[in-house]
Amino acid sequence: MIRVEGMKNFERRIRRARNWQKHDQKNLKNAGRDALKVFVQNAKGNIKDFPRDIVVIRKSGRKTVPKGTLRRSIGYWPVQPRGNHMTAGPRAGFLNRRNFSERNDGWFAHIVEGGNAFGRRNNNRNKGVITKSMKSTRQGVSRKYLQNLKTAFPKYMR
């Protein structure tokens, strides 16, 4: 007859590792947030503020967009169905249904990113800045996320 020492302890650790994603959501969320800071800092550094406030005339009335709003709107937030999955980019009030200051609401980011100005193509200095930042930081973000996970997993398994 063959006897295996420590099998119960081994099985218990396997069960614990299997439930890592469910039980350690706080640290997983922090790992994603820390990794996305690489993108956010890069994007904010590449965006050039318009020299003055912009007045947008809509059917509902006039709306003033303060200078620097696009840069301030860049951030990260958790995706709702899964608490440990994060996303980053310009925050727009109508997209993620959160209340934040109008000074930080980047509802117009898609217009700037595409280079559109009142129905015509326009090459502004911020055209494609978010896409370029995403491409240039993709490897850095994934490397940082993996590094954070490698430190979070052993702490969880203690």
**Domain-embedded: residue 3:** no
Averaged confidence pLDDT in the chain = 83
Give me the pLDDT at residue 110, please: 74
Which residue is listed with tokens 């800071």? Answer: 37
**Domain-embedded: residue 1:** no
**Domain-embedded: residue 52:** yes
Per-residue pLDDT tens for 108-133? 777 777 776 655 667 778 888 888 99
- Whether residue 152 is predicted with pLDDT greater than 80 in this model: the reply is yes
Give me the pLDDT at residue 106, please: 79
| Residue of 3 and 83 predicted with greater confidence | 3
**Domain-embedded: residue 4:** no
**Domain-embedded: residue 33:** yes
- Whether residue 75 is predicted with pLDDT greater than 70 in this model: the reply is yes
Percentage of residues of the chain with pLDDT beyond 70: 87
**Domain-embedded: residue 88:** yes
| 141 vs 157: CA distance, rounded Å | 24
The structural domain count of the chain equals 1
Which residue is listed with tokens 């420590």? Answer: 6
Percentage of residues of the chain with pLDDT beyond 90: 23
> Does the pTM exceed 0.75?
yes
Average pLDDT of span 127-152: 92
Give 83's pLDDT tier (boundaries 50, 70, 90): low
8 A C-beta contact, residue 55 and residue 69: no
- Whether residue 97 is predicted with pLDDT greater than 60 in this model: the reply is no
Give me the pLDDT at residue 41, please: 94
Which residues constitute the domain of residue 106? Answer: 10-157
**Domain-embedded: residue 25:** yes
| 88 vs 37: CA distance, rounded Å | 9
Q: How far is CA 56 from CA 12, 98, 107, in A?
A: 61, 22, 12
**Domain-embedded: residue 2:** no
